[in-house]
Chain A
């Protein structure tokens, strides 16, 4: 029997029992097409609130596209078109009277390549989402800065140099700053697109620890290439292959007794 931290990392709960309340995101028959090519084909799944859901699959399987459809970032590509429905706590995020800007305030995103704004200091980076959305109150800004930097485990490292340029930080710190920046606008869901793939193992471990802490307050969806990372950090795992959802379930089940042969082959490294 597994001991130690397994209870925390691999819950026995099934998606149904875990999300007994309402799932954070319900995805129904989602397809994303670029011109005539479907990058994501007819995917339906529920993303549990206050849990980490990992999306795994080989390169080009549509996992990043899937993630970007969750906060309408795919719309930046004029070729992209989506079909199906996505609801965030019951709200249709593709409803005609919902602006993509509103959706993205509730569903934040962290990218593979850390991208703090180079013209801004550390504190300006954290507060930029608030300031450009009209928050002027200095107390609120200061409070959110500390709160977000603490949550992203960066506060102790930068509290004495909040006004230093953001690009003076190390790669791992920059990525945690990007997480703090996303948290400062207080989203419900945090999407992470391979957030640690450009970092060294130590910085990666910090990001993974962070993900485990953040799930108390946030719903997290993470795309990863790294099978160990999915196994360590996520509660649920979805395996995408060629745009289709092959299997979705509790991470432990996907990694120990997957229902599909293709899933087993992929997680054991036989292809992909």
Chain B
């Protein structure tokens, strides 16, 4: 029964399916390859000392990246302190207040900022903080990561707040609850998981930033004793070790990259976990 042109159509159909499937595989393949390679090269160098010791001078084997791991957490904490309140409140403004025109411009600006190359952020904060303070500092590193988080958090917050059905806002306002309390206690509470998800993804994104930290946090082979001193971070340490000529440092760089990848992976998995039973409003 099948006419020749049907056969040709079926063939095209199958062909397109194969092409699409191959492209989908191409998306996943790098993750698998990167993870496999990092695990192969870095896993043997991960040990207790790696997490607890400072780097050893050239020539001595052993040592670890405790300063870089700690530094990454210090930088991320500072970034969160700056990026989360400003980003979330900015998202609240975009979603709940403001004129359409003004909001369009703010949204537009945030989207442009999200596309700004990270090295540019580094130079901006270098000019704003590092140069006036006459020195690289952990503070400047935290500020640059925080600034990068703001537009990310702002846009995701706005998007999840927009998903909260208007009926809840009306119900609260009709009870004589003020607008601000309605937003905080009803709207934000309903969308809280989504907001936390956005914050975590933004943290995961800036955790791997290297270029902006070169202009701000600089890196430090020792513990930073205050926020005004340069501080190390995993991406900085990985970079420094990777371009060095020493085999031992190369191994440590692989291990550091593996740890960083696992850290980001952990964040992403917890996001999956959070969104799995994410409240779906009945509409």
Contact = CB atoms under 8 A, between A and B. Distances in A.
A104 B176 contact: yes
Contacts of A115: 165, 167-168, 170-171
Contact of A132 (B170, B177, B281, B282): B177
A167 interface: yes
A167 B169 CA distance: 17
A153 to B, nearest CB: 20
A129 B176 CA distance: 7
Contacts of A117: 168, 171-172, 186, 190
12 contacts: A101-B178, A103-B176, A105-B176, A111-B167, A111-B170, A115-B168, A117-B168, A129-B177, A167-B282, A182-B174, A185-B175, A185-B176
Nearest to B164: A118
Nearest to B181: A132
A129 B173 CA distance: 9
Interface in A117-136: 117-119, 128-129, 132-133
Contacts, number: 69
Interface in B169-225: 169-178, 181, 185-186, 189-190, 192
B185 A132 contact: yes
Nearest to B167: A115
B203 to A, nearest CB: 24
Interface in B145-175: 165, 167-175
A144 to B, nearest CB: 13
A170 B178 CA distance: 29
Most A-side CB within 10 Å, residue of B170, B176, B189, B190: B176
B173 A104 contact: yes
B273 interface: no
Interface in A173-193: 178, 181-182, 185
B263 interface: no
A268 B281 CA distance: 39
Given A113-B167, A118-B279, A104 B174 contact: yes
Contacts of B174: 71, 73, 104, 108-109, 111, 182
Given A128-B172, A132-B172, 20 more contacts: A71-B174, A101-B176, A101-B178, A104-B175, A104-B176, A106-B176, A111-B174, A115-B167, A115-B168, A117-B172, A117-B186, A118-B279, A119-B279, A129-B177, A132-B185, A133-B176, A181-B175, A182-B175, A185-B175, A185-B176
Of the listed residues B171, B181, B279, the one surrounded by the most CB atoms of chain A closer than 10 A to its CB is: B171
Interface string B239-279: 00000000000000000000000000000000000000001
Interface of B: 165, 167-178, 181, 185-186, 189-190, 192, 279, 281-282
A106 B172 CA distance: 14
Q: Which of B192, B281, B282 has the largest count of A CB atoms less than 10 A from its CB?
A: B282
A76 interface: yes
Nearest to B184: A132
A181 B167 CA distance: 14
Nearest to B178: A101
Closest 8 CB pairs of A and B: A105-B176, A129-B175, A109-B174, A115-B167, A104-B176, A115-B171, A132-B177, A132-B181
Contacts of A128: 172, 175, 177, 185
Nearest to B282: A167
A102 interface: yes
A108 B175 CA distance: 6
A2 B81 CA distance: 72
A53 to B, nearest CB: 18
A118 B171 CA distance: 12
A263 to B, nearest CB: 30
Interface in A151-209: 167, 178, 181-182, 185
Contacts of B165: 115
A272 B222 CA distance: 81
Contacts of B167: 111, 113, 115
B279 A133 contact: no
Nearest to A171: B282
Contacts of B169: 76
B195 to A, nearest CB: 13
